[in-house]
Amino acid sequence: MAETGFESPVERRSFFSRGLAACAAIAGIGGLAAQAQSLPQWKPIRHAEDDWLNLPGKHRVVFDSATPDGFGLRLLFCGNYYVVHQDAYNLKNNELAAVLVARHHATPFAFNDVIWGKYGTILGQLANFIDPKTKQTPASNLYNAADYGALNNRGTTIDSLTKRGMRIAVCGMATRQLSDAMAASVGSNGGRVYAEVVANLVPNARLIPSGVIAVTRAQERGYSIIST
């Protein structure tokens, strides 16, 4: 067939079909975008029980710990958090909000030496934790022992961080379970031991309903999370 320089009717129909399909696709994308914009944005419900998380600070972070080793590492990381902000950003301690969550097997390290001195054997067994120096269950909270030097917190103690402003959220569910076990080990009552534990938390510690809930609530209130 001779070259005429004009498209055939079939070619024209193909061209228009492709064009219409492209327009429809673009319109579909635009429609979805408009629909997404019209949907209401999801916002978490606020509960008064979590208002303790409304801490002053230009930056907010929550350190989640569920094991003895994890608790020690979070102490180390939290220490770095304060030091670097001070040295590199010229921020003071009161300009930072830091919360350490102690839950599951990390919960006993929110208890002071009164509790560890009395119930250290059962706490060490329950948390699967021994003194790396003596190879025995400890009779004190080793993560609050200055210059101990044998743990992964590298000497960064609970007291040194709470003096900077760090808060500790203590899992209430785990505390009740631990209290029952401690009570059974000495022939006492779980409720009585629980009250004893609550009266002997480490400084700046707060008993909360659940460690898991505290971690999620903190993120809903603008906290970054460090969990590894």
For residue 191, what are the contacts with CB-CB under 8 A and spacing of at least 6? 179
228 vs 136, residue with greater confidence: 136
pLDDT grade for 228, boundaries at 50, 70 and 90: confident
Q: What's the confidence (pLDDT) of residue 39?
A: 72
Sheet of 96-102, strand order: 205-208, 167-171, 96-102, 59-65, 224-226
Distances (CA, A) of 146 to 64, 86, 107, 143, 153: 22, 22, 20, 8, 11
Burial 97-135 (b: 16+ CB within 10 A, else e): bbbbbbbbbbbbbbbbbebbebbbbbbbebbebebeeee
What pLDDT, in 10s, does the model give residues 24-59?
455 555 555 556 567 778 899 999 999 999 999 999
Per DSSP, the three-state class of 120 is helix
- The mean predicted confidence, pLDDT, of the chain is 89
pLDDT class of 6 with cuts at 50, 70, 90: very low
**What residue type is 109 in one-letter code?**
F
Structure confidence at residue 210 (pLDDT): 98
Helix 190-198 vs helix 113-127: angle between axes, to the nearest 10 degrees? 120
Residues forming a β-bridge with 101: 64, 169
How many angstroms separate the CA atoms of 32 and 39, rounded?
Answer: 11
Which residue type is seen at 149? Answer: G
Q: What is the pLDDT of residues 70-88, one digit of tens each?
A: 999 999 999 999 999 999 9
Q: pTM for the complete prediction?
A: 0.82
Chain segment 12-32, per-residue pLDDT in tens: 455 445 554 554 455 555 555
Q: How far apart are the first and last CA of the chain?
A: 73
